A and B are shown apart, each in its own frame.
Chain A
């Protein structure tokens, strides 16, 4: 199957023949009996891993295996905030790598991922937050990431619908990243899937991995609902289900799964052209191209695989946002949903070799991994291809917990994002 190139010309051509010529964006092949690399999980991170394995590291006998439909996990459930204004150097490096790749991802994938660097502001609403963000702004300056601490007047100018005067927590300033923003989550998954398929990489959907086979401490293959498949290397990229796959592989992770939810309002006229995160009061909001207000907040505190989330968090989030944006108080909420996010103690991800030989894992992105998809996929592909992590991935190894070498981002990311 050849892949149709998307362009203005193609749209015009298809308009003259009732759009009959688009074809499928990716193949749906039957599983082969062996792959050099099997990636488990066709979310953004798994698909990007496979894409860069093929594209940058020349490995094409690769399969991505997905129990549901591709992009149906957290990748298709997130609120799409992209930023790289993290405090610690290893985080800044990988998130900025990702943000940079997002800048021209639409051209790279020949798929409009609608990357919109409209600017992200994280509000400081306590003296403590002001000091924290001033510190982050300094760190970002050293890391070469363009951010600045702005005062309340500038905040109001950038986002006029915001109430900066309270009632509980007046806005004292914000950490502003002008090249942060949003992108279309489905298109990111679809774009990578299409790119993988065009390179001959197989995407096997509706195929659940049920067991991991090993011999003498080395991975040899997997069992799935479509039969057994052997592999040279295995990459586990399943977010909320990391504990389940680790259990199959025979090790435990410093990860716990909890539900995180989001909601969107009825569509309204454009009223907000930046992303605002109000971490003190626990809520964040942006406006989608369709006009819906996209809203997120806190995660559940207890282990949970329900993809639903507790009502109290909706209440807490909405309360926080009505304080911050009084004009939304009359809006109706149209949809609410949840995803299962994989939380680590230091709120940083894991990109690592595992106790099982030939088996690699990428997880722990928790509430904030959409923004990282291109960078994480790239770093994971490099590690899987070489067998050892490169400079971007190395700090995120599982060994950091035993060594007490945490990459503490729990302050920078006080709220789910």
Chain B
């Protein structure tokens, strides 16, 4: 079972305690955005086979949203971090580079 540590309350939570929230770091489009950007924001997902930055909610715990970096093939967890982060912290990127040398974050979607 997938286990993620909630960065807020520090609990190592089983996936049954968590609610998945999909791809993280999407640039939020609002009024005035062009249709293509709005469509991409609403629907288009990277859906990578490999490193995925994603949103989770500690639903049956402290209730907070947080971010995780995870490998969708091996289920390796590179770390979790607060949802307020606009970019993944260096510690997470280093953990990923240890498995995937040369890995670079592509930036917000």
B61 adjacent to chain A (CB < 8 Å): no
Contact A312 B43, beta carbon cutoff 8 Å: no
Contact of A305 with B by CB under 8 A? yes
Q: Does B47 contact A (CB under 8 A)?
A: yes
* CB contact between B45 and one of A243, A304, A310, A402 (< 8 Å): that residue: A243
We find that the number of chain A residues with CB closer than 8 angstroms to chain B is: 23
Q: Is B60 an interface residue (CB 8 A)?
A: no
Task: List chain B residues, Cβ under 8 A from A311.
Answer: 1
B 32-69 to A, binary, CB cutoff 8 A, 1 in contact else 0:
00011001101111111100101000000000000000
B19 interfacial contact with A, CB 8 Å: yes
Verify A252–B40 contact, CB threshold 8 A.
Answer: yes
The answer to whether A305 and B45 have CB atoms under 8 Å apart is no
Residue in A244, A257, A345 whose beta carbon sits within 8 Å of that of B43 in the complex: A345
CB < 8 Å neighbour of B54 from A253, A255, A303: A303
> Can you name the residue of chain B whose Cβ is closest to the Cβ of A308?
B75
**Given contacts A303-B72, A304-B72, A402-B35, are A255 and B47 in contact (CB under 8 A)?**
yes
A250 at the interface (CB under 8 A from B): no
B75–A301 touching, CB < 8 Å: no
Secondary structure call for the B interface:
mixed
CA distance A10 to B30 in the complex (A): 67
Question: Contacting A243 at CB < 8 Å: which of B1, B40, B47?
Answer: B47
On whether the beta carbons of B15 and A253 are closer than 8 Å, the reply is: no
Q: How far is the CB of B30 from chain A (nearest CB, A)?
A: 17
B27 within 8 A of partner (CB): no
Give complex CA distance A345, B22 in Å. 12
Q: Decide: A312 and B15 in contact? CB cutoff 8 A.
A: yes
Q: A303-B47, A306-B75 are in contact. List 9 more A-B contacts (CB 8 A).
A: A242-B47, A247-B48, A252-B40, A302-B2, A303-B72, A310-B2, A402-B35, A402-B36, A402-B39
Closest 5 CB pairs of A and B: A243-B47, A254-B43, A252-B44, A302-B20, A301-B20
Chain B residues in contact with chain A, CB under 8 A?
A: 1-2, 15-16, 19-20, 22-23, 35-36, 39-40, 42-49, 52, 54, 70, 72-75
